Amino acid sequence: SHSWTLRTPPRDARHFAEEVQGCATKLIARHFSVEKEVCRGPGSPPPTEEESALAVRRLRQGFAFVGITDQWDLSVCLFHAKFGGACKPAEFSEVRLGSKHNSTHEGYDTKALRGFVDKMDGRLFAEATRIFQSDLSRYRVSSKRCRRECWPKRAA
């Protein structure tokens, strides 16, 4: 998630989304220093097509694990299927939930974005989803298997 560090607050949700668009793509594709604001501001133009392709390539080739936060429990189970070790109840704790989100796993209401779509980060997320689905298949991970092997470890 992103916080707002500029002096003038965003006008609305769409303005915020426009300002931080491509942030994940930029974080993966660009070299940056701690002092530089990576995701927004005058020194951070939107990602280019080349940076988008580079971020997708780096995600595919440079990450040992890709999970999907919207599928947290399944991601935890996949992690253990891929790398070993037993599931622990703490891994299923709901941390850092947004103030307007609950644990019912319903999607966020995006009406406030008024049709805005982050195309660059959307490409990156689509690739992350492909990797995740491929790994689920490769390691034979399913909800059924996770219910049997991993999810009983969740705190009651």
Residue range 58-80, pLDDT digits in tens: 999 999 999 999 899 999 999 99
Instruction: Give the gyration radius of the chain's Cα atoms.
Output: 18
d(CA 20, CA 71): 23
Greater confidence (70 vs 106) lies with 70
Residue type, 135: D
20-51 pLDDT, tens digit each: 899 999 999 987 766 566 777 656 788 999 99
Q: What is the pLDDT of residue 79?
A: 96
Give 153: exposed, middle or buried? Use CB within 10 Å, 0-12, 13-18, 19+.
middle
CA 146-135-64 angle, 5° bins? 110
pLDDT > 90? residue 141: yes
Tens digits of per-residue pLDDT, 4-16? 566 678 888 898 8
- pTM for the full model? 0.82
Among the listed residues 128, 120, 118, the one whose alpha carbon sits nearest the alpha carbon of residue 58: 128
Count of positions (residues) in the chain: 156
Write down the mean pLDDT value for the chain. Answer: 84
Tokens of residue 65, six digits = 């694990």
Distance CA 65, CA 131 (A): 9
- Return the percentage of the chain with pLDDT > 70, whole number: 77
**Residue 29 in contact with residue 51, Cβ under 8 Å?**
yes
